[in-house]
Structure 1
């Protein structure tokens, strides 16, 4: 796109934040649309067997008002934490909207969490209420030691002893409800970090986090909001990627969101959903794209209504980037952020910002730098830490009950991401990896992303991760953990072939000197590889 004011430079020059003095997520993503167009589609739920269920903004307003009334009568008030342990569904939206309009802080929890993970988050947050389903109840029953702050448990599957049934609560909750008069900086969400090392921390966000995400969403999907648009992600809505990359900012723009079936991601199911529902915009994390890539037939072009794809969470890599462009017919817009400060870097091929192997550039509205250990700006080509200038509407308010960690996240007016990257001569930022993911081998500093991308191109590899393994000669060597495709078996010959494949395509210092075969890779709730767990294996 020519830089005539509609390209990247024009977007950066013309952007202005305009946050109102009074702002509430619940009003923005629900009530304003319900007042204008109550029959406007908000959530399209995919049902077993292929059918769908429509949930309008008018229905969302009624359900969220009644839930807010019910929670208030149960003693939940401003600042109290309301946990949501449910798969993608209209009820998830109802719960977050009700909590926001009540002035409470909603706490999304991933359905993949086991009892220990849930117990830590519920105890650490001091959650007062919890919405869940039968699967969540089974996990709650397995938690030992009790949850002293948890006063109310509400099940979507009906009454059971002390557990309240959601439908019965809503039937009994009638009356007028007026949302609290909140401001942009009032706490609204608490999202726990992925916890790749140490215990997760609760990142508290203000109501402004939703309008803060809109520029990144529009950068990834420039034409989002056209009549008939429909957006979907397989990412759990408990993850910042599902909740804030898609669900809440899309609804704030009046764009309906697909609630897919909760099941393990499968390439055929995902393609069927995209095709059957006519999804036009999607957020597909790198893990999902690589699974599609592994199942792809050479030369096949997917026939979908998709107009744009966002990917974030990990580096996509040039190999998967090139494959996706061929398979879908347009480049993927890769974006970057983290739970504490999301969607601040990205690509937008429609605005002329797209380069294989690079995240992209600063999203309009954000100022991002690459800093050395002393805080100075790194010259092009030098690896440093990604930093984001504060204040920023998308930035978290702090970690829950952890002032020391909150203060350590900032230096000299900038937020420290802990992620390593370098900037090329054209201003594109190339992601290297987490500080603790960097592999130091024979003096080389090696990021895992490029190696994993290369491994994925081997015909036998379905999934792969690269970590550093201790070595007396080189400090560390590259060790690959590989999941094989059906029809392939681990052997010394296959290991040698994989090693030669990477060595030939990358370099002698980057190929995996050790290869371990595993049935599956350990993943966080957001689909990121837990490399620390792999490093701890023998």
Structure 2
């Protein structure tokens, strides 16, 4: 069903890379033959007339600020790229970046893309077990990190043989290379690699329902593929000249990197960053201080802001547009934001594998409280049944994208069979259930598999179970979700202890800390319960499905009475 008038189609064809014709009435996203995540962002504005425009403003924890123009980023990333090439980094090599919201992350990305190297993103939320897995699985040859983080990690990591160089920002350790030494000029002119749109650029790891997280490979075309929908969920305002952008979402993940940082630079806007721990009151004051006009925030962050007393909203806030995704945004939170901040809030939906399928653009159509929005143009998004057929209006089915969707990833890193398992005929299944009403709005109904969606993060039960089983007290573990009004779901761990180990509150806390430390802080079980035995499937496996159903029923009894 068409969601756009002819006038709206005209606006989108004039301001984005969307085209409409009789063969693709839902719209077609035009992708160039050559693309590069550095040249298509900072490279566009590091030229006469715009090179002195502020591109990045980094606020340190002490309140001091470092500023970079587009010319600064271009010059310094050229130096770093030349140095990396001098040290043997070439097209297709994997370089892991682990420097959080710091300028080194931006410079590292730009430099690697100039070389055609593949950036492996590493979050500061990852524990040593997760970092070790990513470094080993990706075969990264270079790790770029920062001193205060590296000092706490280096003794806990078994460094894979593939890693031949560690670069540490702020380090004086002679056993590693300092980032500052990379940012020094070499003789001669640097010439970047020319990359095709389908050349690999980014390797991001995300959880699945089985095993350790899988690497998802994206190409340089991804920013072009995202461009129309990014314009829409920023309410068609990115073409204006006065945008100042910020996100508290991790630059190691799609939301921070591809939904704000790089799109803002593609349009020549200033990006603000800070490593300050998120707090609702601080976030509002930070946005006032830096004149932020556009932001991407996960729903969990928005819920924190909406818990504030409206009277505490600081004067001087110039925020105009919030976009959000990763989990459903509660209707009450949306109403609070619109009423007390005076902003437009556009929600969108997608996966790292295939993204921006459904969402809102209030400049073109009205958002409905509690709805995910409508199918975005440029995507053939449908709701299908188990046989891969579209379901009637009002019936629940699985959200699916066309297997040739322009935002589709290149595949799971070195796991082609798992990539192919996503495809069902002409469709790519998402694992998310929804229904669609007569006006084309989608309404989320939950997950079709075991994956836990907590505060916008995807957590695979198996990785948490594996981490718990690595603790000397644990014999068996099953990890399941529990509904939660604030986070959507929380991680619950049911644990059978080894013989002779006594259950205690202290042990619960110890196991929670173990998962936080070894895996990631956002993946730890907020509830740990000790059990004597588990229900089993006919094949002798722990029945997560039965446990999850019992957990949900118990929650509903306690919540609804």
Normalised by the length of structure 1, the TM-score is: 0.80
Aligned-partner Cα distance in 2 for 1:438–1:67: 39
Partner of 1:356: 369
Instruction: Please give the secondary structure, in 2, of the residue aligned with 1:367.
Output: coil
Mapped pair 1:21 → 2:22: no
Q: Within 1, Cα distance between the matches of 2:270 and 2:377?
A: 24
CA distance 1:451–1:355, shift in 2 (3 Å): farther
Aligned to 2:6: 5
Using a 3 Å threshold, how does the CA distance of structure 1 residues 139 and 184 change in structure 2: closer, same or farther? farther
**How far apart are residue 280 of structure 1 and its match?**
0.5
- Matched ranges for 1:158-173 at <5 A: 158-173=171-186
Measure, in 2, the Cα distance between the counterparts of 1:268 and 1:405. Answer: 43
Distance 1:329 1:6 in 2: 27
- 8 Å contact 1:358–1:428 — kept in the other structure? yes
Greater Cα shift, 139-148 or 358-367: 139-148
Q: In the superposition, relative to structure 1, how do residues 418 and 302 fare at CA in structure 2: closer, same or farther (>3 Å)?
A: farther
2:216 matched residue in structure 1: 203
| Counterpart-to-counterpart distance in 1, 2:267 and 2:403 | 26
Kindly indicate whether the alpha-carbon contact (under 8 Å) linking 2:319 and 2:343 is maintained by their aligned counterparts in 1.
no
Please give the secondary structure, in 2, of the residue aligned with 1:179: coil
Q: Structure 2 vs 1, CA of residues 13 and 352 (structure 1 numbering), >3 Å: closer, same or farther? A: farther
Q: Once structures 1 and 2 are overlaid, which stretch shifts more, 223-232 or 95-104?
A: 223-232
Pairing partner for 1:38 from 51, 59, 65: 51
**Cα deviation, residue 392, structure 1:** 2.5
Which of 269, 284, 297 does residue 271 from structure 1 map onto? Answer: 284
217-226 or 235-244, larger mean C-alpha shift: 217-226
For residue 246 of structure 2, what is the aligned residue in structure 1? 232
Rate the CA distance shift 1:424–1:218 in 2: closer, same or farther, 3 A.
same
Contact 1:361 / 1:427 at 8 angstroms: preserved in 2? yes
Partner of 1:500 in structure 2?
none
Preserved CA contact (<8 Å) 1:225 1:254:
no
- Structure 1 gaps of 5+ residues are 440-447, 457-462, 471-518
Tell me if structure 2 keeps the 8 A contact 1:211–1:249: no
Question: Which residue, 317, 320, 325 being the options, matches 2:333?
Answer: 320
Query: In the aligned structure 1, how far is the partner of 2:443 from the partner of 2:161?
Result: 46
In structure 2, C-alpha distance between the alignment counterparts of 1:19 and 1:188, rounded to whole Å: 15
Structure 1 match to 2:262: 248
Residue 76 (1) aligns with residue 89 (2): yes
The root-mean-square deviation of aligned C-alpha atoms, in Å, is: 3.2
Counterparts of 1:121 and 1:396 in 2: how far apart (Å)?
18
Instruction: Within 5 Å, give how 1:287-306 maps onto structure 2.
Output: 287-297=300-310, 304-306=317-319
CA distance in 2, matches of 1:324, 1:5: 31
Q: For 1:461-485, what per-residue CA distance to the aligned partner results, in whole angstroms no more than 9, with x for missing partners?
A: xx67468999xxxxxxxxxxxxxxx
The aligned residue for residue 119 of structure 1 is: 132
Q: Deviations over 1:214-246 (max 9, x none)?
A: 112111111113222111100110011101111
Following the alignment from structure 2 to structure 1, what is the Cα–Cα distance between the partners of residues 147 and 211?
A: 30
Once residues 70 and 415 of structure 1 are traced to their aligned partners in structure 2, the CA distance between those partners, rounded to angstroms, is 41
Point out the more displaced range, 135-144 or 200-209. 135-144
Partner of 1:498: none
Corresponding position of 1:509: none
After superposition, give the CA deviation of every residue in 1:100-148 in whole Å (9 maximum; x if it has no partner): 1101000111011111110000000000101100133124413343311
Task: Say if 1:299 and 1:127 are closer, same or farther in 2 by CA, change over 3 A.
Answer: closer
Q: Cα 1:196–1:294, aligned 2, differ >3 Å: closer, same or farther?
A: farther
Query: Following TM superposition, by how much is the alpha carbon of 1:535 offset from its aligned partner in structure 2, in angstroms?
Result: 8.1
Q: Distance in 2 between matches of 1:278 and 1:427?
A: 36
In structure 2, relative to structure 1, the CA distance for the partners of 1:13 and 1:132 (3 Å cut) is closer
SS in 1 for 2:204: strand
Task: Note if 1:286 corresponds to 2:287.
Answer: no
- After superposing the two structures, state which structure 1 stretch, 405-414 or 122-131, moved more: 405-414
Instruction: Give the distance between the partners of 2:313 and 2:77, measured in 1 at CA.
Output: 44
Aligned length: 470
For 2:40, what is the secondary structure of its paired residue?
helix
Distance in 1 between residues matched to 2:9 and 2:383, nearest whole Å = 20
- Residues 7 and 352 in structure 1, CA contact (< 8 A), matched pair in contact too: no
- Give matches, 1:168-187, under 5 Å: 168-187=181-200
In structure 2, C-alpha distance between the alignment counterparts of 1:523 and 1:278, rounded to whole Å: 35
Deviation (angstroms), 1:263: 3.0
Q: Deviations over 1:423-452 (max 9, x none)?
A: 11211011222223699xxxxxxxx99974
- Aligned partner (choices 366, 378, 383) of residue 391 of structure 2: 378
Q: Which range moves more in the overlay, 345-354 or 308-317? A: 345-354
State TM-score, norm by structure 2: 0.77
Aligned to 1:257: 271
The residue aligned with 1:56 is 69
